[in-house]
Amino acid sequence: MERVLITGAAGFLGSHLCERFIKEGFRVEAMDNLITGDIKNLDSLMGNPNFTFHNHDVTEYIDIEGDLDHILHFASPASPIDYLKIPIQTLKVGSLGIHNCLGLAKDKGARVTIASTSEIYGDPEVHPQHEEYFGHVNTIGPRGVYDEAKRFQESITMAYHRYHGVETRIVRIFNTYGPRMRLNDGRVLPAFIGQALRGEDLTIFGTGTQTRSFCYVDDLVEGIFRLHFSDETRPVNIGNPDEITIGDFAEEIIALTGTDQKVVYRDLPENDPKQRQPDITRARTVLDWEPKINRAEGLKRTYAYFKTLTAEELHKSEHKDFAVFHKD
């Protein structure tokens, strides 16, 4: 039985990856310091003899005894609420954290997949965004702590690949949604659903003409799994190219939830991307992958999950700092 280390395991994506690797017959070493993750996301795996949880900060030395075949580095604050609140930790997990993971991979002879992001493209001047585009990023802006952590992560990963011969894979993740997202994580989908469930008006920043493309989590996990076991060492976009304006998306949420909330408009935050749509030609070509779950079905599943939250959890999710909603 092969062993895999998954960092950020108690997070939204990390927990789904843990479940997938357990299902595929791997022994999973799950690691998270719970600074933004939630141990409840792993409830279904606790007690499984092939699953072990390590409460550990990956910016500190990582010690995994015995053989290790695979590493998936998904530890990082990923929501704007988090990375604006803990910017130093965000930079450290994208520098010290990946350095520790790559060193461990070199020592164990393990293959590494790192979670990069569409944010490395910044506020793009190329549309849709393909992997050869170098991006348009403000290094000293409020989003720079996340963008540059991910860009450095890609650079050091390729350095280990070229210099030390470590087997590496890079996935550039576009907007993803599904069960276990936090309602208060600052991204547009949970922000809208949370406002609808609380009976609040939906808040749009800017004119609502900016676009996003949403990929359901099951599709994303399938793409990551295929990439990890492929021979592709270049970055690969994984996301759903079905693009929609934020204004139209707000109307979809109102229709889905059956509420009669109004839409209110506020100023667009600094460096907020105007367009976000992945070019998935490479994923289609080298992974034979494309998303299968359309937005209507994915939203139905996600809304059903959010409706299971308690009233206390729902109102705990309310944020007064509206300036961070809608960021990827």
Element (H, E) at 189: helix 188-197
- DSSP 3-state of 309: coil
- Rounded CA-CA distance 141/164 in Å is 33
Q: Point out which residues pair with 205 in neighbouring strands.
A: 266
Which is nearest to 71 in space by CA: 209, 228, 189, 218? 228
66: left (phi over 0), alpha (psi -120 to 50) or beta: left
CA 40 to CA 57: how far, in whole Å? Answer: 18
For residues 213 and 175, give the distance between their C-alpha atoms in angstroms, rounded to a whole number.
Answer: 6
* 3 state SS for 69-100: CEEEECCCCCCHHHHHHCHHHHHHHHHHHHHH
- Residues 318, 261: contact at Cβ < 8 Å? no
Q: What are phi and psi of 301, to 5 degrees?
A: -65, -40
Yes or no: say if 174 and 309 are a contact pair by the CB < 8 Å rule. no
**Amino acid of residue 267:** D
Q: How far is residue 11 CA from its own chain's centroid? A: 9
- Token pair listed for 155: 């650079």
> Which residue in the list 146, 160, 177, 216 is annotated as catalytic?
146
**Side-chain half-sphere exposure of 263, counting CA atoms within 13 A:** 17
Query: Phi-psi bin for 58: left (phi > 0), alpha (psi -120 to 50), beta?
Result: alpha
Helix-, strand-, coil-residue percentages of the chain, each rounded to 5: 40, 20, 40
177 carries an active-site annotation: no
Residues catalogued as catalytic: 146
